[in-house]
């Protein structure tokens, strides 16, 4: 990428950090997606925005990177040095509590507090709410919508699981609506079935016998619990469907954008390409692609100050006199050290070039609004200082 195009891509992502209301980070596992989400939030706070980073990944990486002991469903403010923030800038973080979010959703759509209490205490509901496919992603969308409606934050950054699960994140509203529109559920919501009559005809005699045996073994009256759950759930379908439509509309809003995170290896790049294509199909907006841990390009001009420092550092590491490398004795240990260092320099240069060829090939033919390279650092990013370096790169293209 030429300097002009690189700067244009950088400006595009910086604009998203400054203007977007929702940024959804996604990517394959192990590419630094959680770190990128946290850095996006920090970069926005440095621009004077009140930013919240929400993760649905139960791992502790986000909390550790922000210097917090832990995260829960309530937003927690991250303590940042005032000199790092523009006026009004704040950084907050939280982790999705799926069950609590589902309970609030039931309370919102129930016809009465008594009906909501009956559903949330039902054993079938407790099981479905934690095991139904796509529930976690749907609840993440619900929590996102709640935070959007509250209007307390300028920017909401959502950290999702790896890409395939993030596709569930996109599909969750449709999946929930499809479940509610399913023929089985409609049968179970019929008055006779909801009252407990005829449920055997729906599930079949064999299944009914099995559930009766299971009920005796576990002590759960499964048939009655099912009847109660579906009876109480009746009338809430329209509310769930409307909410799913609102969530999809929110994601399609131009101020909601997706940041695809990848590394320079072919498998994560394939995932990134797949997700970019899916975003285009769904009419969603990509903010850009962040390529993490890419080798910096080594200049070939020997007069370049950066290259001179690099060679001098390699010479010193090899025990070579940096002031008189031309006086090396042929075959000496100093000459061998310098030769090895220069060979290593060539290998690093070749690796950097190969990584950029892989990125170009992996994303060829796909519309990418911004392609931002985050260089490989000397160690893992596990604290605010490391996040600040990544945030600076996302905003300016330069590490500190």
Q: Please report the pLDDT score of residue 44 as a whole number.
A: 96
How far apart, in whole angstroms, are the C-alpha atoms of residue 55 and residue 34? 8
Cα dist. 197→188, 219, 235, 275 in Å?
10, 21, 19, 46
> How many percent of the chain have pLDDT more than 70?
69
How far apart, in whole angstroms, are the C-alpha atoms of residue 321 and residue 312? 9
pLDDT digits (tens, 9 = 90+) for 46-104: 999 999 999 877 667 778 778 788 888 899 999 998 888 888 899 999 998 888 998 99
Q: Please report the pLDDT score of residue 334 as a whole number.
A: 64
Is it the case that residue 198 has pLDDT exceeding 50? no
pLDDT bracket for residue 272 (50, 70, 90): very high
Q: Please report the pLDDT score of residue 223 as a whole number.
A: 62
Of residues 344 and 196, more confidently modeled: 344
- DSSP code of residue 237: H
Is it the case that residue 164 has pLDDT exceeding 90? no
Q: Please report the pLDDT score of residue 354 as a whole number.
A: 93
Q: How much is the mean pLDDT over the chain?
A: 78
Phi/psi region, residue 90 (left: phi>0; alpha: psi -120 to 50; beta: rest), is beta
Is it the case that residue 343 has pLDDT exceeding 70? yes
DSSP secondary structure string for all residues of 9-64:
HHHHHHHHHHH-SEEEEEESTTSSHHHHHHHHHHHHHHTT-EEEEEE---SSHHHH
Q: Please report the pLDDT score of residue 46 as a whole number.
A: 94
Is the Cα dihedral 32, 359, 390, 367 positive or negative? negative
pLDDT bracket for residue 396 (50, 70, 90): confident
- Residue 157 backbone dihedrals phi, psi, to 5 degrees: -105, 120
Stretch 27-41: mean pLDDT, rounded?
Answer: 91
Stretch 106-128: mean pLDDT, rounded?
Answer: 86
How far apart, in whole angstroms, are the C-alpha atoms of residue 110 and residue 114? 9
Q: Please report the pLDDT score of residue 362 as a whole number.
A: 95
Q: Which residues pair with 155 in a beta bridge?
A: 51
Is it the case that residue 326 has pLDDT exceeding 60? no
pLDDT bracket for residue 287 (50, 70, 90): very high
Q: Please report the pLDDT score of residue 199 as a whole number.
A: 46
Q: Please report the pLDDT score of residue 400 as a whole number.
A: 43
pLDDT bracket for residue 336 (50, 70, 90): low
Query: Highest mean pLDDT range out of 4-8, 148-152, 184-188?
Result: 148-152
Place of tokens 């309530």: 74
Angle, CA of 389, 147 and 240, to the nearest 5°: 135
Q: Please report the pLDDT score of residue 167 as a whole number.
A: 64
Q: For the chain, what's the residue count? A: 400
Is it the case that residue 256 has pLDDT exceeding 90? yes
pLDDT bracket for residue 378 (50, 70, 90): confident
Stretch 214-220: mean pLDDT, rounded?
Answer: 50
Is it the case that residue 383 has pLDDT exceeding 90? no
Of residues 164 and 201, more confidently modeled: 164
Q: Please report the pLDDT score of residue 163 as a whole number.
A: 58
Is it the case that residue 327 has pLDDT exceeding 60? no
Q: Which two tokens stand for residue 230?
A: 């579906």
């Amino acid at each position: 990428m030429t300097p002009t195009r690189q700067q244009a891509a950088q400006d595009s992502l910086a604009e998203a950090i400054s203007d977007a209301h929702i940024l959804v980070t996604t990517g394959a596992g192990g590419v630094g997606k959680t770190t990128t989400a946290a850095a996006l939030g920090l970069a926005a706070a440095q621009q004077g925005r009140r930013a919240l980073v929400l993760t649905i990944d139960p791992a502790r990486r986000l909390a550790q990177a922000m210097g917090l002991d832990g995260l829960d469903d309530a937003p927690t403010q991250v303590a940042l040095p005032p000199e790092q923030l523009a006026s009004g800038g704040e950084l907050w973080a939280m982790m999705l509590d799926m069950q609590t979010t589902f309970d609030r959703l039931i309370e919102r759509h129930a016809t009465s507090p008594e009906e909501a209490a009956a559903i949330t205490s039902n054993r079938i509901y407790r099981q479905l709410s934690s095991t139904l496919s796509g529930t976690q992603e749907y609840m993440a969308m619900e929590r996102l919508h709640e935070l959007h409606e509250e209007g307390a934050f300028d920017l909401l950054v959502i950290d999702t699981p790896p890409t395939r699960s993030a596709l569930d994140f996109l599909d969750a509203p449709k999946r929930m609506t499809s479940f509610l529109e399913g023929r089985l559920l409609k049968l179970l919501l019929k008055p006779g079935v909801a009252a407990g009559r005829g449920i055997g005809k729906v599930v079949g005699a064999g299944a009914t016998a099995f559930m009766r045996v299971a009920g005796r073994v576990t002590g759960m009256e499964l048939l009655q619990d099912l009847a109660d759950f579906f009876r109480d759930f009746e009338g809430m379908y329209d509310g769930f469907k409307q909410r799913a439509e609102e969530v999809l509309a929110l994601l399609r809003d131009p101020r909601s954008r997706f940041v695809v995170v990848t590394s320079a290896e072919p498998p994560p790049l394939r995932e990134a390409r797949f997700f970019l294509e899916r975003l285009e199909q769904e009419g969603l907006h990509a903010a850009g692609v962040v390529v993490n841990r890419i080798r910096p390009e080594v200049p070939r001009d020997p007069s370049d100050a950066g290259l001179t420092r690099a060679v001098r550092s390699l010479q010193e590491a090899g025990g070579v006199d940096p002031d008189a490398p031309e006086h090396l004795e042929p075959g000496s240990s100093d000459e061998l050290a310098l030769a090895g260092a220069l060979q290593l320099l060539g290998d690093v240069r070749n690796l950097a070039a190969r990584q950029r060829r892989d990125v170009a090939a992996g994303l060829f033919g796909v519309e990418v609004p911004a392609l931002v390279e985050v260089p490989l650092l000397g160690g893992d990013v596990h604290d605010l200082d490391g996040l600040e370096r990544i945030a600076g790169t996302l905003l300016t293209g330069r590490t500190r």
